[in-house]
Amino acid sequence: MILGVPKEIKNNENRVAMTPAGVMELVKFGHTVYIQKDAGFNSGFADAEFTAAGATILETIEEVYEKAEMIVKVKEPIASEYGLIKKDQLVFTYFHFASSEPLTHAMIKSGAVCLAYETVEKVDRSLPLLIPMSEVAGRMAIQEGAKYLEKPQKGKGVLLGGVPGVPSGKVLILGGGIVGTQAAKMAAGLGARVVIMDISLNRLRQLSDIMPANVTTILSNEYNIKEAIKEADLVVGAVLIPGAKAPHLITRDMLKLMKPGTVVVDVAVDQGGCIETCKPTTHEDPVFVIDEVVHYCVANMPGAVPYTSTLALTNATLPYVLQLANKGWKRACTENEELKKGLNVVNGAVVYKGVADAWNLTLSELEDQFI
Ligand SMILES: NC(=O)c1ccc[n+]([C@@H]2O[C@H](COP(=O)([O-])OP(=O)(O)OC[C@H]3O[C@@H](n4cnc5c(N)ncnc54)[C@H](O)[C@@H]3O)[C@@H](O)[C@H]2O)c1
């Protein structure tokens, strides 16, 4: 198959959808890989590394879309790319159709086959192409929180690890899923005193078994949260209710219970945030202060560490890319239910219920697309 990897042009997107290691694997199977010039530059991969692995560099984005049977990307296509996508072309990327009506209509019109990273789903209902980004964001939450706890950054002036003779800082993590677990590991590693709250007792049991002694698990409820925020130096928001907005576990009124200079890192900001006062910020201007509480609410945290994020993402996507390239999308999706769940829009038909519901469109029978 002929694969094309364009340079990401969405504002502040520095990741690339394929590494030289991925190119090498695809070329081994006899596939042709075109990479747009400088596509990997911001993630630390030079064109020469792609060429050495067997790829061909193309100057322009137009050439990449024109030559490729399958496009592998990171972010959803933006308006200037809509017209470049061809009928029957396979596009494998994050789409998040339910948050963009123009994108949905443009992809229907294109007649392309749109396979969305975010809806590829395993039998246990986990989302293998979202997990790596949650792992990055969870670990980053502590790094960013520790930074903004410094006095010059408007924080309390607390060193999370403490020093001999001085107690370590207190970290409260709301939600013990992927983000929460990774945040807890990082905070515990720094020597902080960590509390993880979740509504799932089973999850808390698992965490209690695997976490070190400086991590305590507590059931998430209003009473326990109110008590914990009085003491916390850093609060990480990491809850998720699939398909719904995040619940406001810390309301505006509750900020008064927190000590001045406390930092909240609301990772769940992309689902509305679990702290009522959270609103999305960017890496250029990541924090704001309300009631003397420092809020960090960057909606694309992994974007700040593109080298790590690119490797984490491509580690997870490559096995699927190989299946699609080796078998073509119809056979790959027939033989692998996980991939089949990623099909959102196929040859002008919406085949994913969440997308049809979001924009009041007719849901077509997915099986009809395989005939
Ligand atoms: N800002 C970013 O850059 C970024 C990056 C990656 C992920 N995220 C977001 O982070 C959030 C968490 O993602 P995840 O992968 O860890 O999800 P996850 O499903 O693995 O974990 C969510 C956890 O929240 C728990 N939960 C639900 N309601 C709760 C409540 N009332 N109190 C306490 N816990 C509760 C669930 O039981 C679950 O264990 C999501 O909104 C995700 O989109 C943001």
pLDDT digit string (tens) for 245-273?
A: 889 999 999 999 999 999 999 999 988 89
For residue 63, give the H/E element and its range: helix 61-67
Per-residue model confidence (pLDDT) at position 12: 80
More confident residue, 354 or 136: 136
The domain that holds 193 is classified in CATH as 3.40.50.720
Average pLDDT over residues 193-222: 98
pLDDT at residue 99 greater than cutoff 90: no
| CB distance 270 to ligand 1 below 6 Å | yes
**Position 231 in a domain:** yes
287 belongs to a structural domain: yes
Asked if residue 183 is part of any domain, the answer here is yes
Q: Are 314 and 182 contained in the same domain? A: no
Q: What confidence score (pLDDT) does residue 367 get? A: 86
Residue ending a domain, among 304, 338, 359, is 304
Going by their DSSP bridges, the two strands 349-350 and 343-346 should be labelled as antiparallel
Kindly state whether residues 175 and 298 are assigned to the same domain: yes
Residue nearest to atom 42 of ligand 1 (CA): 268
Give the mean pLDDT of 156-173: 98
| pLDDT per residue as tens digits for the range 19-65 | 999 999 999 999 999 999 999 999 999 999 999 999 999 999 999 99
Q: Which of 286, 304, 322 is a domain's end point?
A: 304
pTM value surpassing 0.95: no
Q: What is the pLDDT of residue 368?
A: 85
Least confident window among 44-58, 101-115, 194-208, 230-244: 230-244
Identify whether 126 is part of a domain: no
Average pLDDT, the chain: 96
Determine contact, residues 158/169, Cβ cutoff 8 Å.
Answer: yes
Q: How far apart are alpha carbons 91 and 72 in whole angstroms?
A: 6
Residues 170, 73 share a domain:
no
Closest CA to 337 of 371, 367, 361, 358: 367
Residue 23, pLDDT score: 98
Does the residue 193 lie in any domain?
Answer: yes
Number of domains forming the structure of the chain: 2
Same domain, 6 and 21: yes
Dist. CA 238 → ligand 1 center (Å)? 4
| Distance separating alpha carbons of residues 200 and 202, to the nearest angstrom | 5
335 and 269 inside one domain: no
Whether residue 299 has its Cβ less than 6 Å from ligand 1: yes
Claim to verify: residue 154 and residue 271 sit in the same structural domain: yes
pLDDT band at 127 (very low <50, low <70, confident <90, very high): very high
Is 368 labeled as ligand-binding?
A: no
Domain final position from 304, 321, 338: 304
Same domain, 319 and 213: no
278 lines ligand 1 (CB under 6 A): no
Q: What does the pLDDT read at residue 371?
A: 72
For residue 270, the model assigns a pLDDT of 84
Q: Look at residue 284 and tell me if it is in a domain.
A: yes
Domain interval for residue 105: 2-120+306-370
Element (H, E) at 295: strand 293-296
176 and 214 both lie in a single domain: yes
Q: What is the reported pLDDT for 243?
A: 67
Q: Are residues 30 and 166 in the same domain?
A: no
Evaluate: CB of 177 within 6 angstroms of ligand 1.
Answer: yes
Known binding residue 134? Answer is yes
321 located within any domain: yes
Same domain, 273 and 192: yes
Tell me if 125 is assigned to some domain.
Answer: no
Q: 311 and 177 in one domain?
A: no
Residues 255 and 319 in one domain: no
Q: Which residue type sits at 56?
A: T
